[in-house]
Chains A and B, each alone.
Chain A
Amino acid sequence: MLRFWSGAVLRLLAVMLMASFAGAMLMRIAPGFSSDDQELNSGLSAQSIQAIRRAHLVDSDIPHFYGQYIASLVRGDLGTSRSLNQPVKELLRERLPVTMVNLAFALSVGWLLGLALAIAAQTWDIPALSFLANGLSGTFISIPAAALALVFLLLRWPPAFAAALLVFPKIYRYTQNLLQQSSEMPHVLTARAKGAGPWRILTWHVAPIAFPQIMALVGVSISIGIGVLLPIEVVSDVAGIGQLAWQAAQARDLPLLVNLTMVVTFVTVCATLISDAAQRGFKRSAA
C-alpha cells in the first residue's frame, strides 16, 4: 500500500514538473512570446517600446526561468502574473474555488444522470426508455460546449449545468456499453438462465465485472469535465481558471500559465490515481 502511494506521489510530481516545463517550452517556441500589444501604442517612445520588449525577454531562457520558479515555489511563492499584474497565488485563490465548485456540480449531476439512465435501460427492457436515453445522450454529445453555454446563458441557467449535460452522455454511453458487454458474459447468461432477477444479475454478476472500468471512467470523466467546463467558463464569463488560462495563453503570461498547467495536471493526475487506487482496492477485496 505504502509502495503504491509513494509511487503515486512520485508520478504526480513527475508529471506536474514535466507538463509545466513542456508548457513553458511550447509557449516560448510559439510565435508572439516576446510581443506585447503595447508595442502598437503610438504614444510610447522608442525607448519605452524597447523597455517593454526587454521585459518580455527576461524569461526567455526557459530552463533558467523554470529553475527559479521551482526554487520560489518551494518557498511558497508562485510568482506574479505578467499580464494581470497580480500575484498568481491571489489569482488562484480567487478563481480556483469557482471552477472546483462548478466541476463538482457538473460531475455529480452528470454521473447521476448517466448512471441512472444506463442502469435503468439495462435493467428494464423498455424500448421507450432506452430510446429516450439514447436520444438525449446523442443530442448532448453532438452539441458543442460553447453553443450549449450560450443557450444556458440566454435561459439564465447555471453554466455548470451545461457542463453536467455534456459530461452525462459520455458516462451514459460508456457505462451502458459496459453493462451490455458484461451482461453477455457466460456466467451472467448462466445466472439468467437459472432465473435470477434483473437486480440480482446487475448487482451480483454484472456490476463486479464492470466496476473496474467504471472506476477508470471516474478519472477520465474528471478530465472530460475540465475539458468542457473551461470553454464554458470562457463563453459564460465565469471568473474561474478556464477564463484565466485563456487570458494567460493570449497574453503569453508565462508565470500564470506554468502555474495553471500545474493545477490542471494536479487535478488530472489525482483523478487517475483515484481510479487506479479504487481498482486496486476492489481487486484486493475481491481476491
Chain B
Amino acid sequence: MKTIRLIAITVLAVTALTILGAHYLAPAGYEQQFRETPQAAPSMHHLLGTDELGRDRWARLLYGMRVSLTLAPLAALFTTALAGLVGGIAGYFGGWTERCCKLLIDLFLSVPWLFLLITVRAVLPLNVSPEASVTVTFALLGLLGWAASARVICAGAKDLMKSEFVWMARASGFSGLKLIRLHLMPNLRGALLAQFWISIPVFIIAEANLGALGLGVAEPLPSLGSLLRELQDSVMVRPEPWRLLPLAVLIVVISSFQVLLNKQEIRN
C-alpha cells in the first residue's frame, strides 16, 4: 500500500508542478491556432497533436488542468463547508431546527437551478473575461452543490449526538463549540472528506455541462471540462487514444487524491 501512496504523491506533485509551470512546458499559447495543421496527429511539434482549430492539445491540456484543478477543489471545499455547517447544525440541535434544515435540503435538491445559472449569465456583462466567467461558475457550483452532502452529514451528526461518548462528554461538562470541535468534527471527518472528493469531479464535469448554457469557460480558455466536452462530439472517433488523455488525467488525479485522503483518514 505504501507504494500506491508514493505513486499518488508523485502524481499529485507532478500535477502541481505542471500546473504551475504550464507557461514554460507548453510549446505554444493555448489559444494559438496553427491553421495549416488542424487535427494533426502527435508529432515533435505537437506532443498530443492539434485540435479542430489547429491548437496544440498539450498546451490546452496543461492550461485546462490549471483552471479546473485549482477552481474545482476550492468550490468543493466551499460546498463541503456549507454542507458541514447545515448538516452539523441540523444534527446538533435536532428538533425543529433539524426539520427546517431538512426541508431546506429537500427544496435545494428539487428546484431546477438551471434557470438561476442562466439568469446569472444574463446579469454578467458580455465582455467579462473568460477567467472571471469560469470563477463565477465554480463559485455558483459551490454555492448550490451542498444539499446532498448536508443530508449525509446531518444523519451522521445526529447519530453521534446520541452516542455514548458524546453523552459522557456532555456529562463531564463539554458543550457548544468545544463539543463540536473535540467530538463531532473528528468523527464526521470521514464523511466530510468523502463528500469533498466526490464533489471535485462532479464540479469539473458540471462546469463543462454549463458550457451548453454559456456559462463556464469562454473561448479560447480551456478547462478540463471543455476538453471533455470535445469528446462528446466524437462518439464515432476512430481510435485516437491521445484524444482521451484529458479523461485519463482526470481519473488519475482524482484517484490519487482519494488514495492520499483515505490513508490520512485511516491514520487518524
Interface residues in chain A, defined as those with a beta carbon under 8 Å from any beta carbon in chain B:
11, 14-16, 18-19, 22-23, 26-27, 29-32, 127, 131, 134-135, 138-139, 141-147, 150, 153-154, 170, 173-174, 177-178, 180-181, 212-213, 216-217, 219-220, 223-224, 227, 231, 235, 245, 249, 257, 261, 264-265, 268-269, 272, 275, 279
Contact = CB atoms under 8 A, between A and B. Distances in A.
Given A14-B103, A138-B254, A138-B258, A31 B110 contact: no
Contacts of B109: 223, 268
A231 B208 CA distance: 12
Tell me whether chain A's interface is mostly helix, strand or loop, or mixed.
helix
A181 B159 CA distance: 13
Contacts of B251: 138-139, 142-143
B159 A212 contact: yes
Interface stretch (B34-42, B50-58, B59-67, B147-155): B147-155
A186 to B, nearest CB: 8
A141 B201 contact: yes
A131 B228 contact: no
Interface string B134-165: 00000000000000100110111001000000
A145 B209 CA distance: 10
A135 B255 contact: yes
Interface size class of B (residues with CB under 8 A): 35 or more
Contacts of A32: 118
Interface stretch (B23-31, B169-177, B259-267): B259-267
Interface stretch (B13-21, B74-82, B187-195): B187-195
Given A19-B110, A141-B197, A213-B155, 11 more contacts: A11-B106, A26-B116, A27-B115, A138-B259, A139-B255, A142-B253, A143-B201, A146-B205, A146-B209, A265-B106, A268-B109
A22 B205 contact: no
B258 A257 contact: no
Given A30-B118, A134-B262, A268 B255 contact: no
Contacts of B103: 11, 14-15
Given A170-B198, A220-B152, A249-B112, A141 B254 contact: yes
A177 B265 contact: yes
Nearest to A214: B155
B201 A144 contact: yes
Contacts of B253: 142
A139 B231 CA distance: 17
A264 B110 contact: yes
B6 to A, nearest CB: 14
15 contacts: A15-B103, A29-B115, A30-B115, A30-B118, A138-B254, A144-B201, A154-B235, A177-B191, A177-B265, A181-B190, A213-B152, A220-B151, A223-B148, A235-B232, A269-B110
A28 B231 CA distance: 33
In the A-B complex, the 3 residue pairs with the smallest Cβ-Cβ separation, listed nearest first, are A216-B155, A138-B255, A26-B115
B107 interface: yes
A30 B190 contact: no
Contacts of A178: 190
Nearest to A173: B194
Contact of A134 (B102, B152, B258): B258
B126 interface: no
B247 interface: yes
A32 B255 CA distance: 41
Interface string B177-192: 0000000000100110
B132 interface: no
